[in-house]
């Protein structure tokens, strides 16, 4: 199902008086649907144990039956959170809500001291032996790890010994996206929590990255400047983003099927602006054999990885691809292509810079050229399920902290396109099924 922004209704008021028994019944009913499917198809049953699956064992929503099951999972996530919060009550809930920094700080210790690598993959290790290997006292390790265990990170299978759970075992591979995600968030991004208030006080209306909470946390360095100077951090960030982009709602497939690429002329060229390794264009190319692609990025390493991946894994597509170094703050060098794709790029930039990126595209456009923007469009409150809502609003806050930017509502996008050039005609804004990213089609009309 494709949702259009124009017809998306304003969300209803949230349910503030749910019944405990009704929430419990929703959980039981939908959990039974999920359990029956998992067991009847011989899928690995969800578990906290180290041999449990790393992700909930539900295939993508490719059939009506699977769509129903994904909806059931969403209902379980939503109702269980509501049941927890309602049963806790406001006073108790706020006491623990504000202590969320304990979750982050314990993960920081675990990542920094490489504790997942020190705990054997099978079996366990004593706090005393962990102390010898980390240089941290047994007492302090117990304090940190026993708190982490309340979040299913490690377990204590016998008194005084630490063993893996399914979650902690994911972190044993230092190259894993999960390990990179924790490293980036605990070593870099979390520092902006302490500079958010000073940034808002000192620069309440700023659109400069150096004046974002990130800039205050890192001695006036904007996000991309810092990453350029710290290659290990940049690598960690890149690995962590592969986890984020592989999550439900951010995969490439909805863009491949949710936009009519077939409307482009036979043999059309698509310029993938800020396309990194070209992983998005690759998926489109597989589904649309007549299209050609030019992948642009400022990061030479990303382009090289893209070339290598294409040559090794998809040699039949090499002739349809070109990789070019390009800074999208300079004029677009590829003139007259049939389409320019800008996916998950613009949300990183405050309005003034977003306008510059789009203005640099305009000289390359010809009458009828398509500019395809795939990015977040913030819906009204209460349209998304609460767990989706929290995810989107968290990302909006991260945009503020890291870049002095924000996720945008439909009216914001319409205003920005009009400010860039009145010849940019916004034809449609749609949200493909199973996607958190929307697709905006803009046609350049120069008649």
Return the active site residues. Answer: 347
Q: How far apart are CA 344 and CA 66, in angstroms?
A: 27
Closest CA to 218 of 353, 349, 354, 403: 403
CA 278, 428, 375, 434 torsion-angle sign: negative
CB atoms within 10 A of CB 29: 13
- Tokens for 302, please give them: 């990303």
* Residues paired with residue 439 on neighbouring β-strands, in sequence order: 374, 430
CA 154 to chain centre: 25
Question: Tell me, what DSSP letter sits at residue 368?
Answer: T
- Tokens for 382, please give them: 């209460």
- Note the residue count of the chain: 447
Q: How far apart are CA 30 and CA 383, in angstroms?
A: 21
Cβ neighbours of residue 7 closer than 8 Å, sequence gap 6 or more: none
Place of tokens 């000073």: 198
CB atoms within 10 A of CB 346: 25
- Tokens for 125, please give them: 């290790």
Q: How far are the Cα atoms of 40, 81, 153, 191, 264 from residue 167, in angstroms, in the given order?
A: 25, 20, 6, 24, 45
Q: How far are the Cα atoms of 188, 194, 203, 218, 262 from residue 198, in angstroms, in the given order?
A: 17, 8, 8, 13, 50
As to burial, measured by CB atoms within 10 angstroms (0-12 exposed, 13-18 middle, 19+ buried), residue 180 is buried
């Amino acid at each position: 199902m494709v949702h259009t922004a124009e017809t998306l209704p304003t969300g209803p008021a949230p349910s503030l008086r749910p019944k405990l028994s009704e929430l419990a019944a929703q959980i039981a009913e939908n959990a039974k649907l999920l359990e029956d499917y998992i067991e009847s198809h011989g899928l690995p049953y969800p578990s906290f144990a180290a041999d449990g699956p790393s992700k909930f064992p539900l295939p993508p929503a490719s059939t009506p039956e699977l769509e129903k099951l994904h909806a059931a999972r969403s209902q379980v996530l939503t109702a269980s959170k509501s049941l927890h919060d309602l049963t806790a009550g406001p006073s108790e809930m706020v006491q623990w809500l504000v202590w969320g920094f304990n979750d982050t700080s314990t993960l920081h210790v675990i990542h920094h001291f490489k504790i997942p690598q020190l705990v054997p993959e099978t079996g366990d290790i004593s706090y005393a032996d962990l102390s010898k290997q980390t240089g941290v006292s047994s007492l302090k390790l117990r304090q940190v790890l026993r708190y982490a265990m309340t979040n299913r990170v490690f377990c204590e299978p016998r008194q005084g010994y630490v063993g893996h759970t399914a979650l902690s075992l994911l972190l044993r591979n230092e190259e894993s996206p999960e390990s990179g995600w924790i490293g980036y968030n605990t070593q870099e991004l979390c520092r902006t929590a302490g500079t958010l208030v000073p940034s808002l006080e000192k620069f309440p209306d700023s659109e400069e990255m150096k004046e974002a909470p990130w800039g205050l946390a890192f001695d006036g360095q904007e996000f991309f400047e810092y990453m350029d100077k710290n290659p290990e951090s940049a690598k960690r960030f890149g690995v962590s983003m592969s986890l984020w982009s592989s999550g439900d709602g951010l995969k490439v497939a909805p863009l491949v099927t949710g936009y009519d690429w077939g409307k482009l002329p036979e043999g059309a060229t698509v310029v993938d602006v800020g396309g990194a390794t070209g992983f998005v264009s690759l998926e489109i190319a597989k589904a649309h054999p007549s299209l050609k692609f030019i992948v642009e990025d400022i990061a030479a390493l990303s382009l090289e990885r893209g070339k290598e991946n294409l040559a090794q894994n998809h040699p039949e597509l090499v002739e349809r691809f070109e990789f070019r170094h390009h800074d999208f703050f300079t004029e677009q060098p590829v003139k007259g292509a049939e389409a320019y794709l800008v996916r998950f790029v613009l949300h990183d930039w405050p309005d003034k810079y977003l306008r510059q990126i789009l203005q640099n595209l305009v000289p390359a456009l010809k009458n009828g050229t398509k500019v395809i923007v795939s990015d977040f469009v913030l819906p009204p409150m209460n349209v998304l399920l609460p767990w989706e809502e929290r995810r989107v609003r968290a990302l909006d806050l991260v945009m503020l902290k890291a870049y002095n930017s924000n996720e945008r509502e439909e009216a914001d996008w319409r205003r920005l396109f009009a400010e860039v050039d009145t010849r940019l005609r916004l034809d449609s804004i749609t949200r493909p099924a199973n996607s958190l990213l929307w697709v905006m089609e803009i046609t350049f009309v120069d008649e």
